[in-house]
A and B are shown apart, each in its own frame.
Chain A
Amino acid sequence: SQELEQSPQSLIVQEGKNLTINCTSSKTLYGLYWYKQKYGEGLIFLMMLQKGGEEKSHEKITAKLDEKKQQSSLHITASQPSHAGIYLCGARTSGTYKYIFGTGTRLKVLA
C-alpha cells in the first residue's frame, strides 16, 4: 500500500529561524496536501500541490512538489511561535478521494 514518510518527526527551532519539513512517497502522488494541526485539534488546510515542479506560497510558508511527484517539502521562513503545531502531509490515493497521511512533524518554536 502507498505510504507517506515525513521527516523530521519533531523539530525545535528558535524564533526567526528557517525550517524545512519533507514528505516522501514510494509512488507517484495524486495530489499532495499540507495541513497544520494544533495539538489535540482538527486540521487546517494549508496548501495543495498537483503538478510536478509546482510551488506555492502563503505568507511565510512555501510548499514544493518535485517533478516526479513523489516528494514534497514545506519551508517556513523566519519562524514564529504561531507556527508551532503538527504539520501533516496528505495525499489522495490514486483514483479515489480517500486520503493517506504522513506521520506528522511536531514543530516547536522557541520565543
Chain B
Amino acid sequence: SAVISQKPSRDICQRGTSLTIQCQVDSQVTMMFWYRQQPGQSLTLIATANQGSEATYESGFVIDKFPISRPNLTFSTLTVSNMSPEDSSIYLCSVVIYGVNTEAFFGQGTRLTVV
C-alpha cells in the first residue's frame, strides 16, 4: 500500500492567483495522477505526472493552466494557474504501484475555493 500526504488540505484563493498543491508518497510508486472533482461531480483525470518529463494531459486540460512537476518517484506538484471561481474543486493526487492488485491510492484531497 501507499500513504499519500497532500498539502494544503484546503485553501481559499483570490481569482487571478495561482496555487501549488503538493503530493508526497511514502514509497516509490509507478504512476502518479491528478484528478479534479467539481462540486457534486465525479472525478475527472487531469493528467498523468511523468517523472523527469512533461506531464501527459487529458482532453480539456492544458499545461499552461495546470502545470505539473514530478522530479522523483515519490513527489509531484500540481499548480492551478490564474484561478477563477470555476476552478473551485477538490483536487486529488492518486498513485498506482505495480503489483498483484494495482489498485489506485488517493490522497485526502485539496479543497480549493476561488473567490
Task: Report which A residues bind B (CB closer than 8 A).
Answer: 31, 33, 35, 40-43, 45, 48, 88, 90, 92, 97-104
Known contacts A88-B43, A97-B31, A103-B41; A33 and B103 CB within 8 A of each other: yes
Chain A residues with CB under 8 A of B6: 42
**A41 vs B96: C-alpha distance in the bound complex, in angstroms?**
19
Residue from the list A41, A90, A92, A100 in contact with B108, Cβ < 8 A: A41
Interface centre among A40, A88, A100, A102, by most B CB within 10 Å?
A40
Distance in Å: Cβ of A32 to nearest Cβ of chain B: 11
**A100 vs B111: C-alpha distance in the bound complex, in angstroms?**
21
Known contacts A41-B108, A42-B107, A97-B31; A31 and B102 CB within 8 A of each other: yes
Known contacts A33-B103, A43-B92; A101 and B43 CB within 8 A of each other: yes
> Is the Cβ of B43 less than 8 Å from the Cβ of A42?
no
**A42 vs B109: C-alpha distance in the bound complex, in angstroms?**
5
Interface string of B82-115 (1 = CB under 8 A from A): 0000000010101010000111111111010000
Chain A residues with CB under 8 A of B77: none
Task: Report which B residues bind A (CB closer than 8 A).
Answer: 6, 30-31, 33, 41-43, 45, 48, 90, 92, 94, 96, 101-109, 111
Known contacts A97-B31, A98-B33; A48 and B42 CB within 8 A of each other: no
Chain B residues with CB under 8 A of A42: 6, 92, 106-109
Chain B residues with CB under 8 A of A99: 33, 43, 45, 94, 104
B58 to A, closest residue via Cβ: A98
